[in-house]
Amino acid sequence: MKRTVIEGNHVTTYDKSLGIIHTYEIVDRVPRGYFIWNIGNHAPDGFVPLCEWLEPGMTVNPDTLKAIAHEHAAEITGMASASATTPLKAIDFLARYRSGKEDDRWAYERVMAGYDYLMELPWER
């Protein structure tokens, strides 16, 4: 069972059997170069997990994890399972899959569920 603990400007997720899963610095803006991390159920409750690549497309940098609080964090994080991890990627995804083919329907619905909330996040440029 996962639990989320906030201490100062950090939020940590713990798992009863695994111990500490990840510690994130709490931020009020999505830093330049960061994207929503597709970490699923390991995301801290009430926070959108943010990360940057160590190597593009390969490995997430575990030492620079960030998180931003949002009431609809689960919907925003759910978009990442469809690779909609930034506003531009979400817009591109919706444009490509607007037809709603049955194979893509679940992903399209996940992105639509979080799209407006994603756009509320303050992104550094």
pLDDT band at 76 (very low <50, low <70, confident <90, very high): very high
User: Among 14-28, 32-46, 66-80, 95-109, which stretch is predicted with the lowest mean pLDDT?
Assistant: 95-109
Q: What span, in angstroms and rounded, lies between the C-alpha atoms of 105 and 115?
A: 15
86 pLDDT exceeds 80?
A: yes
**One-letter identity of residue 38:** N
Q: State which of 69-73, 82-86, 101-105 shows the largest mean pLDDT.
A: 69-73
Structure tokens at 9: 């400007």
State the Cα–Cα distance between residues 63 and 26, nearest whole angstrom.
13
The tens digit of pLDDT for each residue in 28-44 reads 999 999 999 988 888 99
